C-alpha cells in the first residue's frame, strides 16, 4: 500500500484574534484525492488548534511518502492474517557490529562426519561453538549493563519485552543527528515500545556505520522516561552520541529508570507509526547485561491487552 503526504505552506487566522503560519509543512493523508479544504481540516486537527477562523494553503504538493503518524487520519490498515517483520540483523562469523569490539568466531564442536561414529546408522548431528561479545548484531541492554546492582538478563520481566504496543517514529529525514524531545510530543508512549527509525541501518556492516550516526538526546530521554515508555529501540550505531567524549546520558537515564534499550534494529521503515506489537526476548543469562535478540514486530493482530 502506498502512503501519501501533503507538503504545503499554511496561514491560519483565529476567530478571536491572532494567527499562525507554517512553511514546508508535511502532513499524512488517508489518500491523495483530497482537496485543499479537506487537507486544511486535517492540518487543524493534527495541531489541535481551537477557535480557527480560516485556513489558507499555498504551494500544495501531494507526494508518495511513508506516514509519520499525523493525527486525524484513519488507523493503519489491517492485514487479513498476522504479518511478522524481522527487525534483526543476521549474525555471522567475522561480523563487525561496533568498531573496536571483537567479531563472532564460530567453530565446530562435533561435525556431522564425526557424529556418525557415535549414533545409529543414518543418524547424525552437528554441534557448534560460537564466541561473541554480548554487543553483537541486534541486542538488548539490561539495566545491569550500566549499573551493577540492577537486574541482569535473567532478572528481566518477560512482560516488559514481548507483545508490547509500539510507537514508531520515522525520522530518516531529520535534519540533525540528535533526536529531540519535541518529536515525541504528539503521541502517547506510556507502556509502549518506542522505536526510532533513522535509516542508519543502511550502513550496517560498513565503515560508514561507525561515524556520524543519529542518537537520542538527553532531553529526549527525559521525556520518554517521564512519559512512561517501557523500551526504546534504534536502528543506529548507538542510542547515545558516541562522538561526545564518553558521555552516555541515554543509556544512563533509560537503564536507571528500568527502560530497556535495543540497538542496531533494521527494517523499521516497514512498520506503521502505530499499531504494531514488538517482541525481543534475550536468554536468561545470570550476571550478564547485554545479549543479541531476535527482535520482530507483529502486524495485523488485535491487541490482547
Residue 296 sits at the vertex; the CA angle it makes with 292 and 302, to the nearest 5 degrees, is 145
- Do residues 93 and 106 make contact, with C-beta atoms less than 8 angstroms apart? yes
Residue 264 shares a structural domain with residue 140: yes
Residue 288: strand, helix, or coil:
coil
| Cell numbers given for 189 | 508512549
Residue 259 shares a structural domain with residue 153: yes
Residues 6+ away with beta carbon under 8 Å from 141: 251, 255, 260, 261, 262, 263, 289, 290
| Cell numbers given for 38 | 479537506
Residue 198 shares a structural domain with residue 279: yes
Please give the residue range of the domain that contains residue 23. Answer: 4-64
Strand partners, 168: 195
Query: Quick one: pLDDT at residue 174?
Result: 87
Residue 148 shares a structural domain with residue 38: no
16 — pLDDT class (breaks 50, 70, 90): confident
Residue 34 shares a structural domain with residue 156: no
Residues 46, 52, 58, 60, Cα dihedral to 10°: 30
In a domain, 126, yes or no: no
pLDDT at 58 over 90: yes
Query: Quick one: pLDDT at residue 305?
Result: 44
pLDDT at 304 over 70: no
Between 76 and 56, whose confidence is greater? 56
In a domain, 113, yes or no: no
In a domain, 222, yes or no: yes
CATH number at residue 197: 3.50.30.50
In a domain, 125, yes or no: no
Residue 16 shares a structural domain with residue 148: no
Residue 142 shares a structural domain with residue 291: yes
In a domain, 146, yes or no: yes
In a domain, 72, yes or no: no
pLDDT at 303 over 50: no
Residue 169 shares a structural domain with residue 281: yes
Total domains, the chain:
2
Residue 195 shares a structural domain with residue 283: yes
Question: Nearest-CA neighbor of 277 among 294, 295, 292?
Answer: 295
In a domain, 110, yes or no: no
Q: pLDDT for 67-119, tens place per residue?
A: 888 877 654 554 556 899 999 999 999 999 999 999 999 999 999 999 999 99
- Do residues 88 and 137 make contact, with C-beta atoms less than 8 angstroms apart? yes
Residue 54 shares a structural domain with residue 182: no
302 — pLDDT class (breaks 50, 70, 90): very low
CA distance 61 to 295: 37
Percent of the chain at pLDDT above 90?
Answer: 80
- Do residues 259 and 140 make contact, with C-beta atoms less than 8 angstroms apart? no
Residue 60 shares a structural domain with residue 157: no
Q: pLDDT for 220-256, tens place per residue?
A: 999 999 999 999 999 999 999 999 988 999 999 999 9
Q: pLDDT for 121-163, tens place per residue?
A: 999 999 999 999 999 999 999 999 999 999 999 999 999 999 9
In a domain, 119, yes or no: no
Query: Quick one: pLDDT at residue 209?
Result: 97
Residue 304: strand, helix, or coil:
coil
| Cell numbers given for 50 | 481551537
Alpha-helical regions (H) of 73-217: 112-115
Q: pLDDT for 127-136, tens place per residue?
A: 999 999 999 9
Residue 288 shares a structural domain with residue 145: yes
Q: How far is CA 36 from CA 39, 45, 62, 232, in A?
A: 5, 14, 11, 37
Q: pLDDT for 35-50, tens place per residue?
A: 998 999 899 888 988 8
Residue 298 burial by Cβ neighbours in a 10 Å radius (0-12, 13-18, 19+):
middle
CB-side neighbour CA atoms (13 Å) of 187:
24
Rounded to an integer, the average pLDDT of 197-208 is 96
Amino acid at each position: 500500500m502506498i502512503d501519501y503526504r501533503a507538503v504545503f505552506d499554511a496561514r491560519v487566522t483565529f476567530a478571536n484574534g491572532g494567527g499562525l503560519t507554517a512553511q514546508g509543512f508535511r502532513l499524512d493523508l488517508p489518500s491523495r484525492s483530497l482537496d485543499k479544504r479537506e487537507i486544511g481540516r486535517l492540518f487543524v486537527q493534527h495541531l489541535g488548534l481551537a477557535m480557527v477562523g480560516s485556513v489558507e494553503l499555498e504551494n500544495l504538493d501531494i507526494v508518495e511518502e511513508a506516514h509519520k503518524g499525523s493525527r486525524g487520519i484513519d488507523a493503519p490498515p489491517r492485514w487479513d492474517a498476522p504479518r511478522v517483520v524481522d527487525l534483526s540483523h543476521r549474525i555471522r562469523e567475522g561480523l563487525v557490529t561496533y568498531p573496536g569490539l571483537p567479531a563472532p568466531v564460530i567453530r565446530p564442536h562435533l561435525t556431522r562426519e564425526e557424529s556418525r561414529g557415535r549414533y545409529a546408522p543414518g543418524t547424525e548431528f552437528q554441534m557448534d561453538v560460537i564466541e561473541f561479545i554480548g554487543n553483537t548484531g541486534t541486542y538488548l541492554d539490561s539495566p545491569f549493563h550500566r549499573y551493577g546492582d540492577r537486574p541482569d538478563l535473567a532478572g528481566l520481566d518477560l512482560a516488559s519485552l514481548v507483545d508490547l504496543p509500539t510507537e514508531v517514529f520515522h525520522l530518516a529525514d531529520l535534519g540533525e543527528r540528535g533526536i529531540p524531545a519535541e518529536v515525541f510530543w504528539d503521541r502517547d508512549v506510556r507502556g509502549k515500545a518506542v522505536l526510532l527509525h533513522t535509516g542508519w541501518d543502511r550502513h550496517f556492516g560498513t565503515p560508514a556505520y561507525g561515524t556520524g550516526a543519529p542518537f537520542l538526546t538527553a532531553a529526549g530521554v527525559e521525556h520518554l522516561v517521564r512519559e512512561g515508555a517501557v523500551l526504546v529501540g534504534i536502528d543506529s550505531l548507538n542510542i547515545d552520541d558516541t562522538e561526545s567524549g564518553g558521555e552516555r546520558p541515554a543509556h544512563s537515564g533509560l537503564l536507571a529508570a528500568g527502560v530497556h534499550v535495543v540497538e542496531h534494529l533494521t527494517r523499521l521503515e516497514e512498520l506503521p507509526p502505530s499499531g504494531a506489537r514488538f517482541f525481543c526476548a534475550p536468554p536468561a543469562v545470570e550476571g550478564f547485561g547485554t545479549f543479541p535478540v531476535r527482535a520482530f514486530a507483529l502486524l495485523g493482530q488485535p491487541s490482547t491487552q
